[in-house]
DNA sequence: CTTATATTCAACCATATGGTTGAATGTATT
DNA sequence: AATACATTCAACCATATGGTTGAATATAAG
């Protein structure tokens, strides 16, 4: 709650499909920049920038091993995201349409 | 999986704190634009644009009732988001640091 | 020491985003 | 019919984003 800005940046970072692909790739273990860039039809610099965004959002961390930068997934922001989105659980849990209708109707009541 | 673009837009929409506030507000029932705008230190037009973004992302729906536009929360994108972020569950479930260390170590093994 | 590899930095460009103000639209109210 | 209210549309502005290319840095290898 204190610093929403970090959460903002995590969401924004994950909004880009390339960055989500990178995050998913990192669930199978840390990797260096070149490896992460390989599957993409994009310049290495482009990927490097995406990594900087992910790092700035706290989604990945970097350790230098010689000339390679090794990137690892940091779970905390994802855990936060899961927790936050879980707050809406009652909105999709069973009787979805009925609930929606109910809400619309009750709105009309107290307006 | 087919159209990732919708998911992209949902994440991007939720990356803005004002829009998250609006979404959270809508969990307590539908509301019209003016009501939603009231708590914000922002022009009505600004809020209107945020609503358009949320609508474009499929996070809210709009029904016109006279001159008022009534906005309601659409649960599906949030459910998707919860499901997606849940895929990373094993990354924060117990023995977090140990797991991270393990991954870093195994990376060095097969490099 | 020279060369190759891994990566970033810097500049640039096009487009998107978040906000504003002012005018336009449509629906209520009197 | 005149006026007030709810909302969007349009233009504008500043800044951010996503990508490129080319040069710089740092480490590894011959």
B53-98 pLDDT, tens digit per residue, is: 999 999 999 999 999 999 999 999 999 999 999 999 998 885 555 5
Which residues 34-93 of A interface with strand D at a CB distance below 7 A? 42-43, 45-46, 49-50, 53, 66-67
Q: Do B75 and A63 touch (CB under 8 A)?
A: no
Q: What is the mean pLDDT of residues B33-52?
A: 98
* Cα of B85 vs its chain's centroid, Å: 12
Q: Which positions ≥6 away from B2 have C-beta within 8 Å?
A: none
- State whether residue B37 is helix, strand or coil: helix
Q: Per residue in A37-67, pLDDT tens?
A: 999 999 999 999 999 999 999 999 999 999 9
Of A8, A81, A96, the CB nearest to B75: A96
Domains of chain B as residue ranges with CATH? 3-110 (1.10.10.10)
pTM across the whole model:
0.85
Nucleotides of chain C touched by protein CB (<7 A): 5-10, 17-23, 26-28
Give the nucleotide with minimal C1' distance to the Cα of A50: D18
Residue A81 is predicted with a pLDDT of 97
Q: Which positions ≥6 away from B86 have C-beta within 8 Å?
A: A82
Of B15, B65, B106, the CB nearest to A12: B15
Nucleotides of chain D touched by protein CB (<7 A): 5-10, 17-23, 26-28
β strands within A48-87, DSSP E: 60-65, 68-73
Q: Which positions ≥6 away from B9 have C-beta within 8 Å?
A: A15, B56, B57, B58
Q: Which positions ≥6 away from A84 have C-beta within 8 Å?
A: A7
Quick one: what percent of chain B has pLDDT higher than 90?
Answer: 77
- State whether residue B91 is helix, strand or coil: helix
d(CA A53, CA A81) in angstroms, rounded, equals 17
Q: How confident is the model at residue B101 (pLDDT cuts 50, 70, 90)?
A: low
d(CA B55, CA A71) in angstroms, rounded, equals 35
Of A24, A96, A107, the CB nearest to B29: A107
């Amino acid at each position: 709650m204190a610093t929403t800005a970090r959460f903002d940046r995590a969401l924004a970072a994950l909004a880009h499909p390339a960055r989500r692909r990178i995050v998913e790739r990192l669930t199978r273990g840390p990797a260096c920049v070149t490896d992460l860039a390989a599957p993409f039809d994009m310049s290495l610099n482009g990927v490097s920038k995406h990594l900087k965004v992910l790092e700035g959002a706290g989604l990945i961390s970097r350790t230098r091993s010689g000339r390679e930068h090794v990137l690892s997934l940091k779970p905390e922001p994802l855990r936060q995201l899961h927790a936050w989105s879980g707050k809406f659980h009652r909105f999709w849990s069973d009787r979805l349409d009925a609930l929606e209708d109910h809400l619309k109707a009750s709105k009309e009541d107290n307006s």
